[in-house]
């Protein structure tokens, strides 16, 4: 039994905290830990990008240390809610407060607008944004927040160039008396709101093509059985996410046939801020994990599916403490990714967690984040058609999301710890003790990368010899003709180098962990080749 044998794995399948160790052996590419990595839709696990201050080195906070409560990419800038205020910024350096009262219906110029009194957003908390494209230059925006202490806030801006050359429209929208909805959505020419603390079961919809008037033609309200958590327009229907059920509103433009149709009474939504649309489906966080509402071939029909069974233990943790978490989510369209972040506001940013669902040909594949505290996050196309993604934290900072190589905690740069851990491989024969000779790890660097390898035998048995960590040889960035700068790449380096690392020890099972904790550029781990020697059957 002295001849060495090969074992190869391709990194695919993503994080799986659900399967037992033996089940995982049939999918050796799965990860038992995949922190601050993302599943690359083209294969492999890629360390995620970091994030950078919006405004770079000149970045400022809009409202001191007040947490960021909402972000929305609007026009050529960003709408920010923080404290009891709402701001607009072009650059993350200067902020224009836009929650003004008594703004002229025909719009204010800059000086008039900034001279108006402030319409404080009482007890403002996490915000929801509803965008109505309409026929205006940048569209119209409606803002509600979870406190149910303020009316929806309407904002529109026209003009280009400096903010001083633009025209501003702002007002509070009355739904009905003191109805203060917490959530809203634009659906089929109507602004639909719900979640008022005194009428949590009622949805209100505005007049047709009249999003700021709930008394005009086409407006109305409907009462449901269940407390409304969130609203989302999906194809011709409005999906109403309730606490323990899901409905859809159909035929909103036909007062004679408008109706509420139940989708399910077994599944509800845990948090309004988890609802996103990705690849034509709605995704939301339910008590049993992340679910989708997908359209079917039949007109008007939808189907519910669960897509996060692989990370059931994580979603259970979120669900069990949902009331203590601030939840935010976003879809990164270019990566086909759904990202959901959850944090306890009293936690330090480095402890904040999240999950990343990458949509692949095999469905959603998951990974985790740690160190991204996103009390608000948004991704959208600005007026130039460029996708912009931002997030804000509990300390009032705003960051360009998914950019750069580091994290920022409380405004200061922090290295990012990324960890990928494999299942415990038995190499096809659990009973035989195997000596591991060496690994060849396929890495695609985007700069210099130097992961640290940890090998653990027999399920990390403390009564079994475990080797020290191995720092891999530095993996250089290959120089590409026409692209690389002198001194930043290595001539002759491979695009996907195989890094060989001799290791010691052996056991009945072996797991490998690759970790970096630095400020180096991302890299992708594509797979591993393991050379081992069967030893004995003791």
Partner 1 sequence: MATTFLQLCNEILREVNEVELTSATFDSSVGVQTHVKDIVNRAYSDIVNEEPQWPFLSVAESGATDPMYGNVYVETVAGTRWYEMKPASSSITTDYGYIDWDNFYLTTVGVSGESAPYESRNLRHTTIEEWKDYFRVAENLDDADSQQYGVPSRVVRSPDARNFGLSPIPDKVYRVWFFAFNQPTKLNLYTDELVFPDVYVPVLISKARYYIHQFNDNAQSAAFSLEDYKRNLKNMKLHLMEPDPGYFKDDRIRFI
Please report, as ranges, the residues that interact with partner 1 according to CB under 8 A: 1-2, 433, 435-437, 462-467, 504-506, 533, 535-538
For residue 323, the minimal CB distance to partner 1 (Å) is 45
The answer for residues whose C-beta is within 8 angstroms of residue 356's C-beta and 6 or more apart is 38, 39, 48, 337, 338, 339, 366, 367, 368, 369
Q: Which of 359, 219, 368 is nearest to 277 (CA)?
A: 359
Q: 257: buried, middle or exposed (CB in 10 Å: 19+, 13-18, 0-12)?
A: exposed
Nearest CB to partner 1, comparing residues 244 and 432 = 432
163: left (phi over 0), alpha (psi -120 to 50) or beta: alpha
Structure tokens at 9: 């794995």
Minimum Å distance from CB 458 to partner 1?
8
Least spacing, CB of residue 2 vs partner 1, in Å: 5
Least CB distance from residue 502 to partner 1, whole Å? 8
Query: Which residue, 258 or 535, has its beta carbon nearer to partner 1?
Result: 535
Q: Which is nearer to partner 1, 208 or 437 (CB)?
A: 437
* CB 306 to partner 1: min, Å: 42
Shortest Å, Cβ 420 to partner 1: 22
The residue (of 223 and 538) whose beta carbon lies closer to partner 1 is 538
Q: Per-residue DSSP letters for 219-242?
A: -EEEE-SS-EEEEEEETTEEEEEE
Closer to partner 1 by Cβ: residue 112 or 533: 533
Write down the least CB distance from residue 456 to partner 1, Å: 11
DSSP conformation letters of 16-41: -SSS-HHHHTT-TT-BSEEESEEE-T
Looking at the Cβ atoms of 58 and 461, the one nearer to partner 1 is 461
DSSP-assigned letters across all residues of 476-535: PPBP-TTTPPTTTSBTT--SSPEEEEE---EES-EEEEEEEEESPPPEEEEEEEEEEEEE
* d(C-alpha 118, C-alpha 102), whole Å: 9
The partner residues of 246 in beta bridges, in order of sequence, read 241, 264
In Å, how far from its chain's centre is CA 490? Answer: 35
Question: Residue 128 to residues 70, 124, 184: CA-CA distances in angstroms?
Answer: 7, 11, 7
Cβ(307)–Cβ(283) under 8 Å? yes
- Our CA angle for 338, 341, 147, nearest 5°, is 115
CB of 506 to partner 1, least distance (A): 7
Nearer to partner 1 among residue 331 and residue 436 (C-beta): 436
Nearest to 144 by CA among 122, 116, 159: 122
CB 33 within 8 A of CB 513: yes
Give me the least distance between CB of 462 and partner 1, in Å please: 8
CB of 8 or CB of 465, closer to partner 1: 465
Strand ranges for 75-158 from DSSP E: 77-82, 85-89, 96-97, 108-109, 127-132, 140-145, 153-158
Are 154 and 107 spatial neighbours (Cβ–Cβ below 8 Å)?
no
Query: Nearer Cβ to partner 1, position 500 or 537?
Result: 537
Task: Identify the sign of the CA torsion 91, 95, 99, 102.
Answer: negative
Least Å distance, CB 242 to partner 1, is: 56
Note whether 262 and 273 are within 8 A (CB): no
Whose Cβ is closer to partner 1: residue 188's or residue 466's? 466
Taking the least distance from each CB to partner 1, the nearer of 298 and 538 is 538
Smallest distance from partner 1 to CB 463, Å: 5
Closer by beta carbon to partner 1, 18 or else 432: 432
Nearest CB to partner 1, comparing residues 2 and 346: 2
As measured in angstroms, the least distance from the Cβ of 508 to partner 1 is 11
C-alpha 413/C-alpha 318 separation (Å) is 27
CB 72 within 8 A of CB 86: no
Q: How far is the CB of 533 from partner 1 (least distance, A)?
A: 8
């Amino acid at each position: 039994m002295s001849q060495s044998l090969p074992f190869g794995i391709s990194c695919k399948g993503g994080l799986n905290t659900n399967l037992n160790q033996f089940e995982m052996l049939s999918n050796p590419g799965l990860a038992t830990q995949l922190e601050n990595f993302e599943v690359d839709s083209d294969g492999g696990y890629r360390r995620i990008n970091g994030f950078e201050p919006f405004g770079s080195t000149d970045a400022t906070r809009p409202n001191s240390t007040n947490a960021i409560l909402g972000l929305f990419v609007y026009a050529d800038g960003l709408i920010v809610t923080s404290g009891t205020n709402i701001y607009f910024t072009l650059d993350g350096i200067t902020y224009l407060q836009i929650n003004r009262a008594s703004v002229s219906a025909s719009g204010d110029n800059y000086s008039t607008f900034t001279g108006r009194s402030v319409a404080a957003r009482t007890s403002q908390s996490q915000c929801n944004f509803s965008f109505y494209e309409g026929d205006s230059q940048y569209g119209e925006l409606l803002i509600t927040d979870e406190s149910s202490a303020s009316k929806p806030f309407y904002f529109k801006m026209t003009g280009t160039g400096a903010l001083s050359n633009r025209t501003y429209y702002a007002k509070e929208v009355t739904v009905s008396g003191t109805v203060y909805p917490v959530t809203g959505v634009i659906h089929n020419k109507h602004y639909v709101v719900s979640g008022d603390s005194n009428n949590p079961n009622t949805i209100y919809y505005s007049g047709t093509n009249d999003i700021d008037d709930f008394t005009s033609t086409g407006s109305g309200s409907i009462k449901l059985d269940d407390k409304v958590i969130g609203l989302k327009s999906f194809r011709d229907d409005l999906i109403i996410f309730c606490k323990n059920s899901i409905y859809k509103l159909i035929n909103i433009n036909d007062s004679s046939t408008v109706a509420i149709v139940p989708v399910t009474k077994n599944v509800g939504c845990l948090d309004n801020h988890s609802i996103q649309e990705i690849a034509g489906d709605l995704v939301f966080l339910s008590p049993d994990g992340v679910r989708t509402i997908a359209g079917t071939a039949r007109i008007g029909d939808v189907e519910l599916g669960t897509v996060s069974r692989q990370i059931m233990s994580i979603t259970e943790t979120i669900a069990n403490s949902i009331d203590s978490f601030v939840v935010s989510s976003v879809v990164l369209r270019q990566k086909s990714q759904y990202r959901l972040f959850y944090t306890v506001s009293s936690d330090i940013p480095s402890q904040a967690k999240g999950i990343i669902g990458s949509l692949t040909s095999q469905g959603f594949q998951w990974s985790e984040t740690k160190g991204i505290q996103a009390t608000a996050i948004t991704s959208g196309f600005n007026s130039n058609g460029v996708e912009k993604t931002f997030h804000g934290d509990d300390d009032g900072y705003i960051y360009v999301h998914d950019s750069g190589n580091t994290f920022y905690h409380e405004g200061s740069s922090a290295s990012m710890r990324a960890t990928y851990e494999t299942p415990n491989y038995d190499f096809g024969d659990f009973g035989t003790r195997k000596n591991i000779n060496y690994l060849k790890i396929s890495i695609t660097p985007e700069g210099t990368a130097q992961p640290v390898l940890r090998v653990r035998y027999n399920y990390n048995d403390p009564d079994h010899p475990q080797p020290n960590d191995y720092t891999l040889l530095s993996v250089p960035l290959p120089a590409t003709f026409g692209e690389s700068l002198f001194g930043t790449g290595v001539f002759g380096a491979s695009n996907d180098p195989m890094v060989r690392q001799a290791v010691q020890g052996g056991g009945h099972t072996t797991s490998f962990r690759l970790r970096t904790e630095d400020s180096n550029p991302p890299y992708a781990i594509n797979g591993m080749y393991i050379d081992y020697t069967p030893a004995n059957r003791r």
